[in-house]
Amino acid sequence: MLRIGINGLGRIGRCLFRVLFENNIPNVELVAVNGSSSLELHRHLLRNDSVHGRFGCNIGIKEGALLEVGGKTVKFFKEKQPQDIPWEEVGVNVVLECTGKFNNRESSGLHLGGTVKKVVVSAPVADADIQVIFGVNEGAISSEHDVISVGSCTTNCAAHVVKAMDEAFGIEGGFITTVHAYTNDQNHVDGSHKDLRRARACGLSMIPTTTGASKALEVLFPKLSGKLSASSIRVPTPNVSVVDFAFVSSSKATVTSINEALCKAATARPDVLMASDEQLVSSDFNHTTYSAVFDLMETYANDGGVSRVLAWYDNEWAFATRMVDVSRELLRFL
C-alpha cells in the first residue's frame, strides 16, 4: 500500500489532494498533509478553487487536526522543515514534496527516515537520484532511487514532443518556446523580484522569462545535448500552457508525416497523450490529464527543413496527475 504524505498545499499540492480522492486509486491512500497556513484556510482552498472548480467531496475538520474526506481522515501537520514533520505517526512511506523550496537532494532527502522510504519532488532537482517523466522513462526507476524528480510541467509536455519527433525524423537542433500561464512566482502588481521581468504585474503583460526545460531534456535524451534551447513567455491566463517546438530534422518531414508520427505516439500512450484536429483554445484544455495534447492544426513544415509542432498541457492538473502516476511506480519497491 502506498501511504502518501503531501508537503506543501499550494497549487500543485491541492491538485494532488483532489486527484488522489477523486480517482479512488487502488493501493494508494493519502494519509497526511503538511501546510504552512491554518487548517481552516487549507480546507477552504481545497473545497473552492477558482481554476478547477469546487471539490466534489465534503471536507470536514475533526478533533486532532484531521481533515475528513468521504469518510476517510487525513492528518494535518504544520511544520516548516522536512525533518520536523512526524510522518511516521501515520505511517507515510512516500512523500510528495510540493513546496518548491526543497529542490536539491540534500534538503528533499530530509523527509527520508522512519517510515518514509521515497520522496517525489514536483520540480527539477539537478542531483536527484533520477528524473522521471512518466511515459518516457518510468521503467528506469530502481529500488536505489529514493529522491525522484518529476521535472516540471513544461518538461512533461516537451519530452513527449521531442521524443516523437526524434524517433520519427531525428533532430539536428530545436528551440522550445513555452507560452505559459502565470504562476504564484510572479507579482500581481509591480513589486520586488529577482527576475526584473517577473517583477511586473502578471495580469497586464506578456512576460519573457527562463525555463529549465532544455537542460532537463538533455538529461532524458543525452544524444540531443547541446542541440536544444528553450525559453518561456508568461501570459495573463490562470492555467493551461502550450509548447511551441521548432526543429530541424535529420530526414525530410512534411505536415502529413509529422501528424502521422504524433498520432502514432498518442495511440501508443493514450493515458498521457492525445492528438486533436479541432480548432480549440487554451481554456478547452483546463482540468485535462494529458501531459501533451498535440494540436494537429498547428503543424508546419517548410522546404528549408524547419518544422514546427504545438502541444497543449494543463500545467497544474495534468502535472499533479503525472506525480501520482510516478508515485504508483514505487509500489513495487515498498
State whether 240 and 111 are in the same domain: no
Q: Out of 73, 104, 122, pick the residue that ends a domain.
A: 122
Please check if 154 is assigned to a binding site: yes
CATH code for position 4: 3.40.50.720
Quote the mean pLDDT of the chain. 97
CB-neighbour burial class of residue 173 (10 A; exposed 0-12, middle 13-18, buried 19+): middle
Residue 264 domain-assigned (yes or no): yes
State whether 67 and 155 are in the same domain: no
Query: Can you give the pLDDT at residue 59?
Result: 96
State whether 158 and 47 are in the same domain: no
Q: What is the DSSP string of 72-94?
A: EEEEEE--SSGGG--GGGGT--E
Domain assignment of residue 65, given as a range: 1-122
Distance (Å, rounded) from C-alpha 265 to C-alpha 167? 10
State whether 72 and 203 are in the same domain: no
Burial 37-46 (b: 16+ CB within 10 A, else e): eebeebbebb
State whether 101 and 203 are in the same domain: no
Residue 212 has pLDDT above 90, yes or no: no
State whether 221 and 274 are in the same domain: yes
State whether 158 and 104 are in the same domain: no
Please check if 153 is assigned to a binding site: yes
Query: Can you give the pLDDT at residue 102?
Result: 97
Residue 329 domain-assigned (yes or no): no
For range 39-58, the mean pLDDT = 96
Please check if 211 is assigned to a binding site: yes
State whether 165 and 57 are in the same domain: no
CATH code for position 306: 3.30.360.10
Residue 226 domain-assigned (yes or no): yes
Distance (Å, rounded) from C-alpha 214 to C-alpha 155? 8
Residue 143 domain-assigned (yes or no): no
Residue 331 domain-assigned (yes or no): no
State whether 233 and 165 are in the same domain: yes
Residue 265 domain-assigned (yes or no): yes
For range 28-57, the mean pLDDT = 97
Please check if 122 is assigned to a binding site: yes
For range 245-259, the mean pLDDT = 98
State whether 56 and 178 are in the same domain: no
Instruction: Count structural domains, the chain.
Output: 2
For range 239-262, the mean pLDDT = 99
Distance (Å, rounded) from C-alpha 161 to C-alpha 135? 12
Residue 277 domain-assigned (yes or no): yes
State pLDDT tens for residues 139-191: 999 999 999 999 999 999 999 999 999 999 999 999 999 999 999 999 999 99
State whether 191 and 306 are in the same domain: yes
Please check if 27 is assigned to a binding site: no
Q: Is 153 a catalytic residue?
A: yes
Check 153, 157, 202, 263 and give the catalytic one: 153
State pLDDT tens for residues 272-297: 999 999 999 999 999 999 999 999 99
For range 77-84, the mean pLDDT = 98
Residue 101 domain-assigned (yes or no): yes
Query: Can you give the pLDDT at residue 24?
Result: 87
**How is residue 224 written as a grid cell?**
540531443
Please check if 202 is assigned to a binding site: no
Residue 4 has pLDDT above 90, yes or no: yes
* Largest distance between two CA atoms of the chain: 68
Please check if 152 is assigned to a binding site: yes
Query: Can you give the pLDDT at residue 201?
Result: 97
Q: Out of 78, 101, 122, pick the residue that ends a domain.
A: 122
State whether 169 and 70 are in the same domain: no
